[in-house]
Amino acid sequence: MMITYMWCIKVPLIRIVKDLRISKQAAVDWSSFCREVCVHSCIDNCDMLGGEGKVVEIDESKFGKRKFNRGRLVEGKWVFGRIERGSDKCFTVVVKEKSREVLIDIIKKYVRPKTTIISDYWSAYSGLQ
């Protein structure tokens, strides 16, 4: 319990190791676990964007590196983002694949009905209601 408290108040890991007399690896593992719990909590409790009369812009991008620093991206992760115009509300999520089904599910989960959605007109977005 104490390690979680110390992590929450941002005590440096080296101090946690010394004060609690635990291994550095245990402190690193616990810190990673706490961070993952926070990320999942943010995703699960994320407010929906938009609503009637609101505009939400959506887009997807692949983040990664190029092979030999040339050409198109070959390694990386797809990230789907949305931002509500006229507010500071935005959200991104890493997606396993850039498919119509995955992206439509995310839109349904995080964008309210009757929202005006602006996109790059990628074919996967066609037919959004």
Kindly list the domain boundaries of the chain, sorted by start residue: 2-44, 55-125
Instruction: Tell me the average pLDDT across 52-80.
Output: 81
CA–CA separation, 34 vs 32, rounded Å? 5
Query: In the numeric block, which tokens belong to residue 36?
Result: 């993952």
The answer to whether the predicted template modeling score (pTM) of the entire model surpasses 0.85 is: no
Number of CB atoms found within 10 A of residue 83's CB? 17
State mean pLDDT over 75-85: 88
Contact by Cβ (8 Å): 112, 49: yes
The string of DSSP codes covering 38-78 is HHHHHHHTPPPB--TT-EEEEEEEEEEEEGGG-SSEEEEEE
pLDDT score at 124: 60
Residue type for 3, please? Answer: I
Which pLDDT band, with edges at 50, 70 and 90, does 129 fall under? low
